Structure 1
Amino acid sequence: MRKLFPWTFPLIILLCAMKADGVWHTYAIHGYAQGTTYTITYYAQDSLVLRGEVEQVLAMIDSSMSLYKPYSLINKINNGEGTFRVDPHFGRVVRKSFEIYRRSGGLFDVTVAPLVRLWGFGAERIDHLPDSAAVQRARACVGMNRIRLRGTQLKKMQPCVQLDLNGIAQGYSVDVLAGLLESKGIGHYLVELGGELRVSGPKPDGTPMRIGIERPPKDDARYPVISEVLELRNGAVTTAGNYRKFVMDGERRISHHINPETGYPFHTGVISATVYAPDAMTADGYDNVFIAMPPAAAVALANRTANVEVYLIYQDDHGITRDTMSSGFGRLISNL
């Protein structure tokens, strides 16, 4: 199976001890979807969710937003022109994308697909990096001002415009799975898909979920190091990173995060951005924004954005790895 969202990274390591007492039981569902693994763990008095229900939900999202499914709605839109009727999943993700596009000053842009493909991060590999002329041609088709969403109708203002929802749709998938659990009356759970996660708690014994943030390993390290441990009772945590998915140009590492304004990969020094938000779609969208900004600017944006917190690992001008965080992120860090 090919990957649906290949550039969202499992940078978060789960440290939750899943053990319940009394009449509560722990149920876990594991599987493979969207080019990655998923785990759903919930506490209930009986088994209320089947794996088949979970995979049906994920298949429905695939049919809407997967660039790797020839029959998907997004491929129909990308290969066509004019106005298209979109399903509720697609509409919710595009509306949130417009919100983050505006708040980020255009750094988050779901029409960046031509540039992503040009730099070799699409479904097909490339054998050489693009020249400036190719970049400028692709840029002419990029910009969320080139699409309109009115109700269920999405209009492409130019035929060459193509959408790529990979930077936000996996977080949305987590939220939909959380909604499935809640529709069954489940109030204590952890949903994780490709490292993007959402929790509702606390655990039945009153303790919060514990989540480790992975620090990029040094060259001689075999295993990742846990940078911080978070304690969550409710909300979502996602991470975007530059050290697992990239292409090399000689000695130079090319990031898969492409600047929609310039057409070239971002070079901000940020290695990873871990974001907390009430829902995973919001966190997933903003982690792409924060990794594309200088650290101080990213922290400033998080500080003025309600219910969004960020933790950054970055390299300074001297090549030293450092970290920084927004004003509210520290309250999430465990003191244990």
Structure 2
Amino acid sequence: MTMPPSGRPTRRRFLSVAAAAAGLPLLPSGAAATEGALVTWRGIALGAVASLQIHHPDRATAERLVRAAVAETARLEAIFSLYRPDSVLSELNRTGVVIAPAAELVDLLAACDAMVRLTNGVFDPTVQPLWACHAAHFSTRGRDAGPPPAEALRDALARVGWDKLRVGRDRIAFATRGMALTLNGIAQGFVTDRVVAMLRNAGLAHALVDMGEIAALGGHPAGRPWQVELERSAPGAPDVVPLTDRAVATSAAAGFGFDADGRYNHLFDPRTGISAAPDRRITVVAATATTADALSTAFSLMDDASIAEAARRSAAVVYAPPRFGGP
């Protein structure tokens, strides 16, 4: 991530669609090997560069589906956004409770719970107080400052903990005053999966969806996998990841740093409040973008053995430099 003048973080991208079209909001890509139109859209979703590539025999239908996918993404952003004051998530963080929450928020928190369990608590969306603590400290002391005072960090950690969140279909609430959620480590994957499901239900067989994380519906219409370029994260990691009915996500400590060296960054360990190592970068390929997004976040803070076990249980492929020992 980088921090623009507004103070709102934006995501630095470590993945890109190989030879993706750019320019107009809707445009045909190069000639496909099968009949039909490959329509590409490029824009912004959940604070990140986003794109869609949809193949359909009827170009008008493809364009209609692109517009529907963009509208669905905007609807979900109004629920999950940490930066929109009118979002459901912002209401929860501001008041500590949401009555009759959107079903999609409940579903996403259920997915969070599964990831919390899979990673033994390392994935934890309640780390937002740690972000606020670091943001306040470095905004007043400057980017060359040392860590936040121990007392401030202890206070923030006291408001972190997945077990302090109460989730029901009729009500979501914090059990501890001053808690806050961030869904930035999973929401983009979740939204990507929702768009993929919508396109699949519409009968599409070929699409590549990037709403901050990337997922493939089928393969490329030319009869090969979709190609996703990977900023190499480890010796031996590929330059391009082929995707067919799979998803890929990357998390990197270098995405956003509070200090000049990146030692204090956005990837917080909920157990200690310490950030991931500044050179840490993890890419995960999984069955869903939700899983890939969450695991790439958590794996940035986990040791090799724990990563291997969680990857085995989730049938994920991980590209990461080795990290020996504990977190």
Contact 2:100 2:169 in 1 (8 A): no
Instruction: Please report the TM-score for the alignment, with normalisation by the length of structure 2.
Output: 0.83
RMSD: 2.9
> What's the offset of the Cα at 1:206?
2.0
Q: Residue deviations 1:182-233, cap 9 Å, x none?
A: 2321110101133x1000222233211122211269xxxxxxx984322221
Compared CA separation, residues 271 and 314, structure 1 to 2 (3 A): farther
Whether the 8 Å contact between 1:9 and 1:239 is mirrored in structure 2 is no
1:13 deviates by 2.6
Say which SS state the counterpart of residue 41 (structure 2) adopts.
Answer: strand
CA displacement at 1:71 relative to structure 2: 0.9
Q: Pick from 243, 250, 255 the counterpart of residue 244 of structure 1.
A: 255
Q: Which residue of 1 aligns with 2:174?
A: 156
Partner AA of 1:281 in structure 2: T
- Tell me the residue number matched to 2:78: 63
Gap change, CA 1:8 and 1:310, over 3 Å in 2: farther
State the Cα distance separating 1:156 from its structure 2 match. Answer: 1.8
**Which of these residues, 33, 44, 49, is aligned with residue 32 of structure 1?**
44
Q: Percent identity?
A: 24
Larger strand proportion of the pair:
1
Aligned residues: 304
Matched, 1:10 2:13: yes
TM-score by length of 1: 0.81
CA distance in 2, matches of 1:3, 1:171: 25
**Alignment partner of 1:313 is 2:325:** no
Corresponding letter in the other structure for 2:232 = R
| Rounded Cα–Cα distance in structure 2 between residues aligned with 1:296 and 1:4 | 37
Relative to 1, partners in 2 of residues 1:113 and 1:279: Cα closer, same or farther, differing over 3 Å? same
Alignment of 1:32-51 (within 5 A): 32-47=44-59, 48=61, 49-50=63-64, 51=66
Q: Indicate how the Cα distance of structure 1 residues 209 and 307 shifts in structure 2: closer, same or farther if over 3 A, else same.
A: same
> Where do 5+ consecutive residues of structure 2 fail to align?
21-29, 142-146
* Higher helix fraction (1 or 2): 2
Letter aligned with residue 266 of structure 2: H
Letter in 2 for 1:66: S
Is residue 2:129 matched to residue 1:117? no
SS in 1 for 2:230: strand
Contact conserved, 1:5 with 1:166, CA < 8 A, in 2?
no
Which blocks of at least 5 consecutive residues in structure 1 are unaligned? 218-224, 318-336
* CA-to-aligned-CA distance 1:96-149 (integer Å, 9 cap, x gap): 1111111211111111111112112x9x97223421000111111110111121
Distance 1:3 1:35 in 2: 13
Q: Is 1:228 the equivalent of 2:243?
A: no
User: How far apart, CA to CA, are the structure 2 residues paired with 1:183 and 1:5?
Assistant: 35
Q: Does 1:208 align with 2:225?
A: yes
**1-side partners of 2:203 and 2:218: how far apart?**
13
Measured against aligned partners, the alpha-carbon deviations of 1:16-58 in whole angstroms (never above 9, x if no partner) come to: 6864134222111111232222110011111324354233212
CA distance in 2, matches of 1:265, 1:284: 18
SS of the equivalent of 1:248 reads: coil
Are the equivalent residues in 2 in contact too, given 1:3–1:36 (CA < 8 A)?
Answer: no
Is 1:263 aligned with 2:267? no
Whole-angstrom distance in 2 between the partners of 1:3 and 1:38: 21
